[in-house]
A = this chain, B = another copy of it.
């Protein structure tokens, strides 16, 4: 029995797997094609990580594809009913990279909602506003990272929130899955700041945070 399956071996996979291990969770790491990449990242992470490639049985109760939106849609299609009963965490920001000026989902929808239409898994939106490097370290400038979570299923949302909290992050449950519309626009804004050459303070290592008054 594995707690969390992470698909992908890039920077976001590294960040999420780092947090999973910090939370004491067992991790299955599936490479897209090259199992050696999963093994290399597993070795780097240290312990409690099993490896495989896309197409292998998904062992985790929580599945986090650390891939772009289009790749996530392909994963959902590939696994089909095998994802039934799983919590599928959508971390994507579906930026239209041809223009870098808008999101590539229809107005009034979101990547998370589009994925929910095509999978029997329970989709939860989370981790789309946290950059990879900040997940590796688990904080920014000594402050706890916010993880914004949206979903329609209470127990699925709680599973993701519990994971984030156990990983030392500040989990904020925002509302139903359609709130992903706001989370993705906010994630896009976060990306735009780092992509903006006029803003040298933002170098893909900043963090969006909602500071409560104290």
A-B contact pairs, 17 of them (CB 8 A): A102-B181, A107-B107, A141-B212, A141-B213, A172-B199, A179-B189, A182-B189, A186-B189, A202-B210, A202-B212, A203-B213, A205-B212, A206-B211, A207-B211, A208-B208, A208-B209, A208-B210
Residues in B whose Cβ lies below 8 Å from that of A181: 102, 185
The binding surface of chain A is classed by DSSP as mixed
Judged by a CB distance under 8 angstroms, whether A196 is at the interface is yes
Residues of A that sit less than 8 Å from B by CB: 101-102, 106-108, 133-134, 140-141, 143, 148, 172-175, 178-179, 181-183, 185-186, 188-190, 192-193, 196, 198-199, 201-203, 205-214
What is the total number of copies of this protein in its complex? 2
A162 CB to nearest B CB, Å = 16
Residues in B whose Cβ lies below 8 Å from that of A189: 148, 174, 179, 182-183, 186
CB pair B182 A196 closer than 8 Å: no
A180 CB to nearest B CB, Å = 11
- Bound state CA distance, A141 and B181, in angstroms? 29
Report which residue of A108, A175, A178, A179 has the largest number of chain B beta carbons within 10 angstroms of its beta carbon: A175
A166 CB to nearest B CB, Å = 19
Residues in B whose Cβ lies below 8 Å from that of A183: 189
Given contacts A107-B107, A198-B173, A199-B172, contact A210 B190 (CB under 8 A): yes
Of the candidates B174, B178, B201, B213, the one whose C-beta lies within 8 Å of that of A206 is B213
- Bound state CA distance, A182 and B186, in angstroms? 6
- Bound state CA distance, A211 and B102, in angstroms? 23
Of the candidates B108, B148, B172, the one whose C-beta lies within 8 Å of that of A107 is B108
CB pair B203 A175 closer than 8 Å: no
- Bound state CA distance, A207 and B196, in angstroms? 22
